[in-house]
Amino acid sequence: MIILPAIDLLDGKCVRLYKGEYSTAHTVAPDPFETIKRFITDGAEYIHLVDLNGAKDGKPVNHELLCELACRSSVPLEIGGGIRDMETVKFYIENGFSRVIIGSAALKNPEFVKTAVHTYGDKIAVGIDARNGYVSTSGWTENSQIYFTDFAQTMEKIGIDNIIFTDIERDGTLEGAAIERLQELKSKVKTETKITASGGVKDIEDIRKLKALDVYGVICGKSIYEGTLNLKEAILL
């Protein structure tokens, strides 16, 4: 299992949100470049980045800063937020990102996902963000009537084998990972499908539970910034 420390950018700043509410945004680190450097020093082998402005606006917003981060990073980065077309996918891959995460567009335009995965293979992942079990889109501002496991199965059918699942109700809360939701997801997808857990992780006990669940990866944000989780310890577990 890999640990992916997270950097969420809003107006060029590293922030965290509480349950995805933009009104709760607060700065957690002064410099994204120093933050990535610290994560790498602590042993991170992969880092998760999100363009929060992009997720809300439906187009890349912090892309210049994100590409500069990719250029300077010595470890692979994955990027999500505002990725709605092939031009944006191509842009990020050509500018140093190892994995591109398609979120809202996956629900609204599955043909786009099919084209992306057929073009770039395992460089494409789908982010499934759910509130009370139902997929949410547009920076978590719009809720659908599509159940998250049904959507995951639809994505598998068009070739996706890498799913990043976020339980919005837990994101930024430090209330613990959504173990039951993740178990449900694992029971509905293929054994070989990679699942990355996101949302609610608080401490090393959560990491142990997720490792026992045998997920591919876990994204950690607030827990690292607030010091309830030691990144070095989590990576070495």
Catalytic positions are 8, 129
Beta carbons of 100 and 123 less than 8 angstroms apart: yes
Residue with tokens 């187009």: 59
Dihedral of alpha carbons 137, 4, 99, 23, sign: positive
CA angle at residue 104 from 102 to 107, to 5 degrees?
Answer: 95
**In 10 A of CB 173, how many CB atoms?**
16
- Alpha-carbon distance of 183 to 107, in angstroms, equals 22
End-to-end CA distance of the chain: 9
Radius of gyration of the chain (CA): 16
- Cα-based torsion angle of the residue sequence 225, 227, 232, 234 in order, rounded to the nearest 10 degrees: -100
Beta carbons of 49 and 197 less than 8 angstroms apart: no
